[in-house]
Amino acid sequence: MSESPPTTPVCYRHPGRETYVRCTRCDRPICPECMREASVGHQCPECVNEGRRSVRPARTAFGGGAAGRHGYVTKALIAVNVLLMLLSIASDRGGDAAVGGSGFGGLMGGSTPLTNWGSVLGLAVFPDGTLGGIADGQWYRLITAMFLHYGVIHLLLNMWALWVLGRSLEANLGPLRFGALYLIGGLGGNVAAYLFSAQNSATAGASTAVFGLFAALIIIERKMGRDISQVIPILVINLVFTLTVPGISIPGHLGGLVVGALMALVLAYAPRGRRTLVQVVGAAVILLVLVGLVLVRTAYLLG
């Protein structure tokens, strides 16, 4: 009885190609086109893809994604603020913001139709006789106000602070958690401005969120065992300016500082085993409290 000649192995993905190389994971023959360099030998495309799915993505110390080191959210927030500043200038077609030397389009600090539309305002009668404000149902002002500014100088100061603070915090927290911190801190400052400012007083600016980032940076850095001696003096200087310079919203800045600190405590000290759940629940509780305060203030203004 004659023996059949040995069969030459062929690539499992390309049957017409002979090969003597096998995948180090599944042991199937693979041709040069299908070879993927591995730490030992070569692997086939399917095993490489399977390995990628089984590897857990890198996380920060607080459960966030490692993509935060690129600062995408920080850059996006700056871009949104700059874009709205340009739209604010464009909205001032009649140059009304120049009255009183404030500068055309709010370049030197004046209001524009866009800031009038989106600033924190409790309740007021507008020049055309209409009533408006948060108490009148314009709750969007609590969000839009943190992206609008009274002039380019106002914008530049806040964006510089956001750039310095945001990159560090986003790298430590991850994009989603940093974004939540910014928005909740800014919302907290705007709610405080609504609660404690005159009902016809308008305020706007990213500084409510920026003060929240100041507080968060101190808490996060301390949690990680880092030196914060350089941060404290900068915060103190900003607080002195807040309390002494006319026209600055003291409730807005202090409110952002307090709410940003609370959010940072939730993010930093959530137990490792249930970190995401505790962080989400903590953020939800803060938001519910803020909504409750807005409802109380609204009832008072309309009562």
> Residue 196 pLDDT > 80, yes or no?
yes
172-198 mean pLDDT = 95
Among this protein's residues, is 207 annotated catalytic? Answer: yes
Sequence ranges of the chain with CATH classification 1.20.1540.10: 70-302
Catalytic residue among 102, 168, 207, 249: 207
pLDDT per residue over 221-236, tens digit each? 898 888 888 888 888 8
One-character DSSP codes across 111-160: --HHHHHHSB--SEE-TTS-EESGGGT-TTHHHHGGG--SSHHHHHHHHH
For the domain covering 70-302, report its CATH number.
1.20.1540.10
pLDDT of residue 98: 36
Instruction: Please give the backbone phi and psi of residue 18, each rounded to the nearest 5 degrees, phi first.
Output: -75, 145
Which pLDDT score, from 0 to 100, does residue 108 have? 54
Paired residues of 124 in beta bridges = 132
pTM, 2 dp: 0.78
User: What is the residue-wise DSSP string for 245-288?
Assistant: STT--HHHHHHHHHHHHHHHHHHHHS-GGGHHHHHHHHHHHHHH
Average of per-residue pLDDT across 42-67: 75
Is-contact 186 194, C-beta < 8 A?
Answer: no
Any residues with CB less than 8 A from the CB of 107 and at least 6 apart, and which?
A: 89, 151, 152
Residue 96 CA to residue 104 CA, distance in Å, equals: 7
pLDDT, average across residues 171-199: 95
Rounded distance between C-alpha atoms, residue 172 and residue 54, angstroms: 24
Task: In the chain, count H helices and then E strands.
Answer: 10, 4
* Residue 111 is a catalytic residue: no
Indicate whether 147 pLDDT > 60.
yes
pLDDT in tens, 64-114: 777 878 899 999 999 999 999 999 888 876 554 433 334 444 455 678 889
Report the share of the chain in percent with pLDDT over 90: 49
Q: Among residues 42, 149, 154, 253, which one is catalytic?
A: 253
Look at the alpha carbons of 208, 209, 215, 217 in this order and tell me if their dihedral is positive or negative: negative
Instruction: Output the average pLDDT for the chain.
Output: 86
